[in-house]
Amino acid sequence: MSAAEPEAPAPAAHPEPEPGPAPVRRWRVLVTAVVVLALLLGGVLTLMAMARLKDTPAARNRALTDAPATSRVADDIGDALTRVLSYSPGSTDATRRTARELLAGKAARQYAELFGQVEKKAAAQRLTLTTHVVRAGVIRLTAGRAELLVFLDQVAQRKGERPATTAAQLSVRAELRGGRWRITGITSR
Sheet containing 164-177: give its strands across.
Answer: 127-141, 145-158, 164-177, 180-188
| Nearest partner of 74 among 136, 29, 143, 26, judged by Cα | 136
Provide the residue-wise pLDDT of the chain in tens; the chain has 189 residues: 555 566 655 555 555 555 556 777 888 888 888 888 888 888 888 888 777 766 666 678 889 889 999 999 999 999 999 999 999 988 899 999 999 999 999 999 999 999 988 888 878 888 899 999 999 999 999 989 999 999 999 999 988 899 999 999 999 999 999 999 999 999 998
The model's pTM is 0.69
| Nearest partner of 103 among 90, 112, 116, 91, judged by Cα | 112
How many angstroms separate the CA atoms of 26 and 20, rounded? 11
Residues 6+ apart with CB under 8 A from 164: 155, 156, 157
How many angstroms separate the CA atoms of 95 and 102, rounded? 10
> In sequence order, which ranges of 3-162 are alpha helices (DSSP H)?
21-54, 57-60, 62-65, 67-84, 92-102, 105-125
Tally Cβ neighbours within 10 Å of residue 76: 19
Q: Are 165 and 128 in contact (CB under 8 A)?
A: no
Q: Are 175 and 140 in contact (CB under 8 A)?
A: no
Q: Is 63 exposed, middle or buried (0-12, 13-18, 19+ CB in 10 A)?
A: buried
